[in-house]
Amino acid sequence: MSSDVRFTDFKSDKQPTWCPGCGDFGTMNGMMKALAETGNDPDNTFVVAGIGCSGKIGTYMHSYALHGVHGRALPVGIGVKMANPELEVMVAGGDGDGYSIGAGHFIHAVRRNVDMSYVVMDNRIYGLTKGQASPTSREDFETATTPEGPGQPPVNPKALALSAGATFIAQSFSSNAQRHAEIVQQAIEHDGFGFVNVYSPCVTFNDVDTYDYFRDSIVDLADTDHDPGNRDMAKDKILESDKEYMGVLYQDDSSVPFEQREGIEAPMNDVPDGAPEGAMDLVREFY
């Protein structure tokens, strides 16, 4: 790993096609800054993304990358980490990709506790497909396809993560560049699955959950007496329906990553002979 890498080294030569003002610009910049601050560089970083406005983030970042299919980014990221645990694996997605079709994968990725990070750009709407209600939209959120609102409570991804046994749960705001990068950095440095839900406003289709709304509503946990090591305190904060928090909600410092528990220490092509006859030859052929 390079010690003098800059976050700009993670920028590709492709220009993002997001709407001007989209929160995903700030989210991506914070991811790149966090990767650089943790001593990673493009040669040891693998970014996996799913479908949605966030889906092309791997195109805009200079690293190994894979643009997967809807809701399936997490199992791909886990597969990458298992094949080569020496890589820094970061999965990126949106609230639709991660909490709707990908919700099952999300829960199981959390409980496996693979040493990787998952950054979700939560704009509380389906932006790519022109403004339908998403899993995190408010119950009364009016759209063209739900003119009276979706009529059901929004998914609480932090509560899902906590109930599935998460060892790191955090939330950030893409517009607060410094805090966002710090929070993602903490997720990367955590020994286990680092989950960060990012408020990343959609300026085109969501005129409710706006930058101004979050600036006025967010409470930074760094300014409170919150103890992220206290699970009960974390649960209380996560279940508060009238507060928008930023910071690390929960962290288990005794976390043991999946790879350590299972003795996965080296890339698959370095696995010594002794496996079933011909098995490692097949692995090496596709490595």
pLDDT in tens, 171-192: 999 999 999 999 999 999 999 9
What are the beta bridge partners of residue 65?
47
Query: What pLDDT is stored for residue 247 in this prediction?
Result: 98
Q: Which CATH number do you get for residue 35?
A: 3.40.50.970
CB atoms within 10 A of CB 211: 16
Q: For residue 81, give the nearest of 285, 275, 258 by alpha carbon.
A: 258
Euclidean distance between CA atoms 206 and 152, whole angstroms: 18
Q: Which residues contact 114 (CB under 8 A, 6 or more apart)?
A: 77, 78, 81, 82, 192, 193, 257, 258, 259
Domain count for the chain: 1
Indicate the Cα dihedral angle 141, 17, 81, 120, nearest 10°: -20
Residue 2 lies in a domain: no
Q: For residue 133, give the nearest of 151, 157, 114 by alpha carbon.
A: 151
Q: Are 168 and 192 in contact (CB under 8 A)?
A: yes
Residue 74 lies in a domain: yes
Residue 1 lies in a domain: no
% residues pLDDT > 70 (the chain): 96
Euclidean distance between CA atoms 144 and 81, whole angstroms: 40
Residue 73 lies in a domain: yes
Residue 119 lies in a domain: yes
- The DSSP call for residue 89 is E
pTM, to two decimals = 0.92
Query: What pLDDT is stored for residue 234 in this prediction?
Result: 98
Query: What pLDDT is stored for residue 248 in this prediction?
Result: 98
Element (H, E) at 220: strand 218-220
Q: Are 53 and 94 in contact (CB under 8 A)?
A: yes
Query: What pLDDT is stored for residue 273 in this prediction?
Result: 57
Where residue 101 falls (left for φ over 0; alpha for ψ -120 to 50; beta otherwise) is: alpha
The pLDDT averaged over each successive group of 10 residues in the chain (287 residues) is 78 95 96 96 95 91 92 95 95 95 95 98 93 95 92 96 98 98 98 98 96 97 97 97 94 95 83 65 76
Euclidean distance between CA atoms 181 and 82, whole angstroms: 26
Q: Which two tokens stand for residue 206?
A: 């969501």
Boundaries of domain holding 236: 7-286
Residue 160 lies in a domain: yes
